[in-house]
Amino acid sequence: MPGIGVLANVVAVLIGGVLGLGGGRFLAERFQATLMRACALVVIFLGLGGALSKMLVVGADGHLSFVGIDMMLTSLIGGAIIGEILNIEDRMTAFGAWLKRISGSSGDTHFIDGFVSASLTICVGAMSVIGAVSDSLLGDPSILFAKSVLDGIVIMLLTATLGKGCVFSAISVGIFEGAVFLAAGAIEPLMTDAALSNLSYVGSILIFTVGTNLMTLPYIRVANFLPALVIAVVWGVM
């Protein structure tokens, strides 16, 4: 069934969110605070591990060397400039505020933070793009099935601490992966090995910054860095 991988990912996020909501109600505030730090550490190390796996390469002499630094700098700086011009973070926040209003969650002070953080965590990364393209062109949803399991667990943990807003990240992942699924034929020529490696490299850095935000370190407007992913892919095609 075409699109079953995308559908499975959306359903997994919803299930994880519902389980997180149910479990979060029975957690005392101090447990929620500790669980939040645990979630932040998980996201930080997911991003850090992904970035380092692309950044560090063992040379023929057995020494570690850094690669892709020029691409990373260009993508992040260029992406930040474009993102600030487009004001993506504020637009995403406004969408979260609209969801908060129509869902009757006006009293939920963490709703928007939960929606934005959860959406970025599960949408930013190579698995979303590769999985949706594979589902569309090859009829192989296995990548998205694996991602669904991971996303369900992450969203369950995030929802237990940040609340209902995280559940609505199912909309974000459905729109993002659905768009890639529909546009797969057009973007397939861009998905070279170098482009996918760059996408994973920069995407992992953005996931890391989502984790630092969850850790309540100085806030980074991660959504405004999303154009960096496009620049990273283009760099890999050139």
Tokens 């630094």 belong to residue: 69
What type of residue sits at position 95? F
Q: Which residues on neighbouring strands pair with residue 58, listed in sequence order?
A: 64
Predicted local distance difference test score (pLDDT) of residue 85: 96
pLDDT tens digit string along 27-79?
A: 777 877 787 788 888 888 888 988 998 898 887 777 888 889 999 999 999 99
> Which pTM value belongs to this model?
0.82
Predicted local distance difference test score (pLDDT) of residue 84: 95
The CA-based dihedral angle spanning residues 18, 22, 28, 30, taken in that order and rounded to the nearest 10 degrees: -20
The region, left, alpha or beta by phi > 0 then psi within -120 to 50, assigned to residue 181 is alpha
What type of residue sits at position 205? I
Query: What is the rounded CA–CA span in Å between residue 11 and residue 145?
Result: 11
Neighbours of 33 (CB within 10 A): 12
pLDDT tens digit string along 176-203?
A: 999 989 998 888 888 888 988 898 899 8
pLDDT tens digit string along 131-172?
A: 888 888 888 898 899 899 888 988 988 898 888 999 999 999
C-alpha atoms less than 13 angstroms from C-alpha of 128 in its C-beta half-sphere: 25
Predicted local distance difference test score (pLDDT) of residue 214: 84
Residue 101 has pLDDT above 80, yes or no: yes
